[in-house]
Structure 1
Amino acid sequence: MASNKENKFLSYFPKVRKNKILLFLFFIVAILCSYVIYYYQLDWIDFNCNHGRNAKSCIYKAQRLYLLPLIGFIGIFIFLFIDKITFFIVLFNNKIEGLSEKKSGLLLIIYSFIISCFLFSYRFSLYILDPTRVEWIKNMHGDIMLNFLSWHIFRDAPWEFPIGRIDYINHPLGTSIAYLDPTNLFAFIFKIFNNFLPSYFQYLGIWYFFCYVLQGLFAALIFKNIQCDLKLKLLAVPFLVFSTVLLDRLPHATLNAHWLILASFYLYFSKNISSNKKIIWQALIVYLTAWLHPYQTFMLYALMTALYLRIFFEEKNQRKYLTLIFSLTFIFVLMTWYAIGYFYLGGGYEYINFTYSSNFNTFINSMGNSIFLRPLGIGDGDYEGSAYLGLGVLIILVVLIFEKWPRENYVFKKENKALFWIVSILAFLATGFAFKFGEIKFLALHPPAFIEFIFGIYRSIGRFIWPAYYLIVIFSLLSLIYRERSIVKKYILVICALIVQLIDIYPLYKPIPLNIAKGFEISRDFSPWEKFMGKEKNKIIFYPNRDYPYSDFWLLSKKNNYSINIGYFARNNQIEIEKNESLTYDNILNGKIPNDTVYVVGGKFIKIITSSNHKNKFTCEYIQEFYACKSKN
């Protein structure tokens, strides 16, 4: 219940509403605030849009100029009725105050499930859960098309070892789905049932739904065991469900499994799970990532280290068991990677590259994903380390910083030290040993040799900032919840922060226009290619092997069982590719195109064939934007 001081404060609002002069002044203040918002948005448009305020295609122009000032105006007027809002909050509080711990936990989980489903259906559509609807994938950005096509080709590839091996793309080397990221776990599961599946089948919609729902589940479980008012838990959950680092990972389907990070935090904080169970569950989570993505494995193994260190120092009798499980998990992960084909090409290692790192301004830099805040400067590739907290969370942090800290520390407890150290190390690694704020680099360190080896495998090291993001959000909310203030003040503060947060990060979860038609329409006409290939040719070699529009040609390859050398792969054996390119070039100059092969060139490279002294040995034809040649023999 509200205190006497709060009741006295709330009693002023009915008086303001009845007083015409005060009401008029309040109206003027609301208009002035709306104008300030409008003016700020004009300034934003002038700064960020190519043609300033006259730009017709500037992103969110109408929402910024008209919707935001209107929301500000309405929000200030809603403040006039804060006494009524408080009354309903207290009434709601009394209704659910008597729920048992079991029922309140169940309510929290159901609530998180509803929010997760709403977010999924609002951002995508429930139609994409239908695996026969494939066209929507074309509307997605990033690697989603690659994820689908790699599964589409892999499903009909013969079972070989490594089990993720695909021979007829990236010819003659072949490749593995490990370098294509079709969400490996689902690819293997559905490949088993391939004979029963329709010709066009996608599971990416199911995977996205799975990730969003589990994100909500573990967000609920984290706050479920916190000793605080249920309503505050209900308000805290959306901060993790609408995670900016999750919503920003849309182009990388497998990396949407941020629930794995939350699951690790849940195990670390939970007091209702025995140490033995924590050890096993955390090991199983890490092993699961071996079937998903190596970046997840690295981060989850680090979080596993934090949990095991805590148990190691708290329970001496568990030390041998911890060491055994820790080692076995590492061995099983390596064996699984080997079986899938992560070491197949020998091209997983590259020269150390710190480009895709994290910037020191990452937590406050919206990178264009904020309604309110301008993007700040970054270095090349720092977008991979994006971890914008959102204006709502930033407001909470500001409030906490300027408040008096309580004597009892609820966050920086001794048992949390291992987690803080590991997450801090991950955040440090995410910087790539280059300390940058915006485009200014203050210091660059040369890492040890073993760190260079790790970064030769993990290029997008900025992603290691994700656990730090979640830890900051969770502990910010916990610190706010545990501070000594009235329950009503906590409600108002968290509600306001949540509203600001959801409005601010709207660009990250706004609806995506999707074509939800069934089947899959192929834009390129395959008939001239099939006619030119005939029955004798079964290999298409592009020279040089560059970023041609591979998706159409992968579908052509799948349809006719052709081998093809182009594509986009996370890793490759560049030395072998250059050798094969050199061989192709020599064959063109010497007039020796293999009998089962068609060579394809485009643009400025056409003259390599047309100027060849042996071009009379070739049968060539312009097919669409390419020039294709084959041996006359």
Structure 2
Amino acid sequence: MVKHNTLNFQPLTRPFWNKLIPILLGVIAYFVVVGPEHLNPTNINWIQGGDGAQHYLGWTFFRHDGWRFPIGLNPNYGANIGSSIVFADAIPLFAIPFKILSPWLATDFQYFGLWTLLCFILQAWFGWLLTGLFTRTLAVQIMGSGLFVFAIPMLFRINLHAALTAHFFILAALYLNLSRLQNHRLWYWALLLVGSLATHFYIFAIIAALWLASALDSYWPNKTLSLKKLLIEITSLVTFTGFMAWQLGYFASASNETVLNHYSGFSPEFFVFFNSNGWSYLLPSFYSTTEEKNNFLGLGIISLLIIGLIGAFFKKIPLWSKLKYYPFFILSLVVLALVAFSNHVEIGPWAFDYPLPLSLQFALGNVRNSGRFLWPHMYLITFLVIYLITRAFAKRAVFILMLGLLLQIGDSSIKWYSMRQFISTTAHQPSAFAKATQGLKSSFWNIAAQKYQRIDMIPLKQMSMQYFTKGEDWDWARFASFAATHKLATNMVYLSRVDTKKIDAANAHYDRLFKEGKFDPNTIYILDQEKIVPALMHLNSEADLLANIDGMIVLAPGWKNCQFCPVIPIDHEYRAAFIRPVLNQPVMFNKDGNGTWYLIGIGQFPIIGWGWSYPESWGAWAEGREAHLALPTPLAPFSSLIFDTNPLLSPSHPKQRVVVKINGDFHSLQILDDTHRQMRLSINSEKLGRPDYLAIEFIFIDQAKPQEIGLGVDARVLSIGLISAIFE
């Protein structure tokens, strides 16, 4: 017979040997789901790019840097951006102590396997404690702990977001709330708050909400905490966590990259707990959604929920009598759910938005993945399921829970087993970081690593994941891996948050370097195509190298004066005798014209999705959704720039609309047709500060394939052809 408490949830005391059971359960579950290769700290081969590369590289730069104050700063990984170990999502809770041990660690060392094992163990441990709040039956606790371990939103994070597998913090916070444990509560909550803060911000935000609810419930209605103690607890914990946030590096970035557009970007759909999203053999997805929104309960828990609710109905099990003890806890869950679902509501294939005050949108701007705030609700449903089964089916509860657990494990193996196979396979393959740098074949790179202390990308992109050159997201990892291997600083990084003001300031600094032709002698620069012209305009070609090395545009200050640096073949260098445009004289963009230098991305459409077709006898077609050019300016003041164009027009396609941006700012919307083929741009050179060049971007609204609008068989995506430009 199942024995259980009949009143309030109370912690259960068991013999010490019993407490080893959840530890063993967590270890077994880890090796079943993940496998042994993941645990080897010197095996980094299973880390195959994306977020995993961000975490490992962030840790690698952190371990090789000296100690700083605050201790979480990580400036070599994200130079000029304001970087810390926090924004690499590299789990400061492990990164900081392992940095102390770094001199004795292997060259290739990762702690993410050990961290994941710890998460499994603690998930089982706190699942065991939660189940013990209402049952004294050992077998029920084992089954209940197993259901918490096989929570799909936690399993989904393995090998993706290591820090976010730490759901045990949420279980621990739920335990402290439901048990209403008061002994040493200040220390317990301090550990949870600081531990979660040193793990991941989203988990910390959940823990903070549950802590505040616990404190207020303890004051009223439970009256186990006096007003004085309540104020002391709130003041001390807020102060302490604020201090720790500063030390961990949370304030190294203003994180204003998000703000208005990202809140609700990953808000969950209404049936999120029941949509399998590919995590079930038997239960099909109701509709497709991004994996980031995954909060699927699992078929085992859903089945147990149905059985438990039916049993509760017939046995008339009271559920609401306990709620009076937890008013603020319930309120915190309501608030977390409202934030999670956001103002973008999805119900199946239907969606609608409702307005929020601008100030609230701004405050929630950093909550990009709001669906994560439903994790406490998912675990409470699991807790409720186990509770109802034990109450409604006392004699058969163990058997029913065992069947539910087996169904949960087996049905979800459609995903976790393939993940295990992926880890096992890639663990025996070459490192992704070694593969990332294979494209750097020239001997130039090893010599450069000896000569320079830093490698920077120009321009620095205003996004978390840095893209450049060919638009491949692994380009950032190529040079970050190179920099990590040679212990160089770099701004080519992938961060969870970036400070756009610092990025703008960095790019303004780079622009000044181009204008003065004076570059940092300790930094090697990787340029985007748009920066070739600005670099050539003031380049000291006697000392500085501007060349194409392995397909990369490289600016190496002082290379030609370096005694041990090899000579780069002349045909690899970018050289141009620039004659700046003159007022009222055209710059021609045909194949023999002087303007082809200024067209960015010639022949690059198949790779990056935009650019220019190879110039023809009359000019050059813009290909794709946008086109760019870097156009030098006359020495004399000018007030307008006129482009002669050849717009793609037909009877069924009578106009071309073009959005024009200059130096990143919107300038005008130009409409071209049969009678209007010029783009006349009013530009006051004095107001722009007499720039050396204009970075011009065309965004096309009416691009089309000629073959689709009755103009032959040409299948290119075209919009306008550029013939000439003239300053007036």
Paired residue type of 2:480: W
Paired residue type of 2:279: N
Q: 5 Å matches for 1:423-442? A: 423-442=333-352
Residues 563-591 of structure 1: CA deviation (Å, up to 9, x unaligned):
32211111112133234334435644765
1:284 maps to what in 2?
191
Residues 120-167 of structure 1: CA deviation (Å, up to 9, x unaligned):
1122223433322332323xx641221111111111211122212223
Work out which of the residue numbers 467, 480, 494 in structure 1 matches 2:389.
480
1:301 maps to what in 2?
208
What's the offset of the Cα at 1:242? 0.4
Corresponding position: 1:334 with 2:248: no
How many percent of aligned residue pairs carry the same amino acid?
Answer: 23
The question of whether the paired residues in 1 share the 8 Å contact of 2:279 and 2:298 is answered with no
The question of whether the paired residues in 2 share the 8 Å contact of 1:528 and 1:623 is answered with no
What's the offset of the Cα at 1:284? 2.4
1:541 maps to what in 2?
456
Corresponding position: 1:418 with 2:328: yes
Q: Quickly say closer, same or farther: Cα 1:385–1:270, change in 2 above 3 A.
A: same
Paired residue type of 2:498: N
What's the offset of the Cα at 1:228? 5.2
Q: Quickly say closer, same or farther: Cα 1:596–1:236, change in 2 above 3 A.
A: closer
Q: 5 Å matches for 1:424-463? A: 424-447=334-357, 449=359, 451-463=360-372
What's the offset of the Cα at 1:441? 1.8
- Higher mean displacement: 193-202 or 155-164: 193-202
What RMSD over aligned residues (CA atoms) do the two structures have, in Å? Answer: 3.0
The question of whether the paired residues in 2 share the 8 Å contact of 1:215 and 1:258 is answered with yes
Q: 5 Å matches for 1:351-366? A: 351-352=259-260, 353=262, 354-366=264-276
Residues 411-460 of structure 1: CA deviation (Å, up to 9, x unaligned):
651224433322222111101132221342244241573x4344123322
Residues 254-289 of structure 1: CA deviation (Å, up to 9, x unaligned):
111111111112222337x4x132343123211222
Q: Quickly say closer, same or farther: Cα 1:589–1:301, change in 2 above 3 A.
A: same
2:121 maps to what in 1?
213
Paired residue type of 2:175: Y
What's the offset of the Cα at 1:499? 2.7
Corresponding position: 1:254 with 2:174: no
Q: Secondary structure at the match of 1:112?
A: helix
Corresponding position: 1:528 with 2:473: no
- Higher mean displacement: 452-461 or 362-371: 452-461
Corresponding position: 1:368 with 2:283: no
Q: Secondary structure at the match of 1:621?
A: strand
What's the offset of the Cα at 1:199? 2.0
Q: Quickly say closer, same or farther: Cα 1:459–1:466, change in 2 above 3 A.
A: same
Q: Quickly say closer, same or farther: Cα 1:531–1:277, change in 2 above 3 A.
A: closer
Distance 1:448 1:409 in 2: 43
1:498 maps to what in 2?
405
- Higher mean displacement: 550-559 or 511-520: 511-520
Q: Quickly say closer, same or farther: Cα 1:173–1:391, change in 2 above 3 A.
A: closer
1:7 maps to what in 2?
none
2:553 maps to what in 1?
627
Q: Secondary structure at the match of 1:134?
A: coil
Corresponding position: 1:319 with 2:224: no
- Higher mean displacement: 382-391 or 300-309: 382-391
Corresponding position: 1:553 with 2:479: yes
Q: How many residues align?
A: 524
Corresponding position: 1:172 with 2:80: yes
Residues 450-494 of structure 1: CA deviation (Å, up to 9, x unaligned):
x434412332222111001000111122112212x4613x34433
Q: Secondary structure at the match of 2:173?
A: helix
- Higher mean displacement: 516-525 or 305-314: 516-525
What's the offset of the Cα at 1:369? 1.6
1:118 maps to what in 2?
28
Q: Secondary structure at the match of 1:198?
A: coil
Distance 1:410 1:622 in 2: 70
Corresponding position: 1:466 with 2:386: no
Q: Secondary structure at the match of 1:234?
A: helix
The question of whether the paired residues in 1 share the 8 Å contact of 2:269 and 2:345 is answered with yes
Give the TM-score taking structure 1 as reference length.
Answer: 0.75
Q: Quickly say closer, same or farther: Cα 1:508–1:518, change in 2 above 3 A.
A: closer
Paired residue type of 2:254: G
Q: Secondary structure at the match of 1:393?
A: helix
- Higher mean displacement: 258-267 or 120-129: 120-129
2:109 maps to what in 1?
201
1:394 maps to what in 2?
302
Distance 2:511 2:335 in 1: 48
Work out which of the residue numbers 488, 496, 503 in structure 2 matches 1:562.
488
Structure 2 alignment gaps of length 5 or more: 3-11, 461-465, 469-474, 562-728
2:677 maps to what in 1?
none
Structure 1 alignment gaps of length 5 or more: 2-89, 91-100
The question of whether the paired residues in 1 share the 8 Å contact of 2:268 and 2:371 is answered with yes
The question of whether the paired residues in 2 share the 8 Å contact of 1:455 and 1:461 is answered with no
More contact order relative to length (CA 8 Å, sep ≥ 6): 1
- Higher mean displacement: 295-304 or 193-202: 193-202
Mark the structure with the bigger radius of gyration: 2
The question of whether the paired residues in 1 share the 8 Å contact of 2:135 and 2:141 is answered with no
Kindly indicate which of the two structures has a greater share of residues assigned to helix: 1
Distance 1:486 1:212 in 2: 28
Q: Quickly say closer, same or farther: Cα 1:171–1:264, change in 2 above 3 A.
A: closer
Distance 1:534 1:125 in 2: 37
Q: Secondary structure at the match of 1:367?
A: coil
Kindly indicate which of the two structures has a greater share of residues assigned to strand: 2
Distance 2:133 2:334 in 1: 25
Corresponding position: 1:265 with 2:174: yes
What's the offset of the Cα at 1:531? 4.9
Distance 1:442 1:553 in 2: 42
Distance 1:363 1:301 in 2: 23
Paired residue type of 1:436: E
Distance 2:384 2:202 in 1: 24
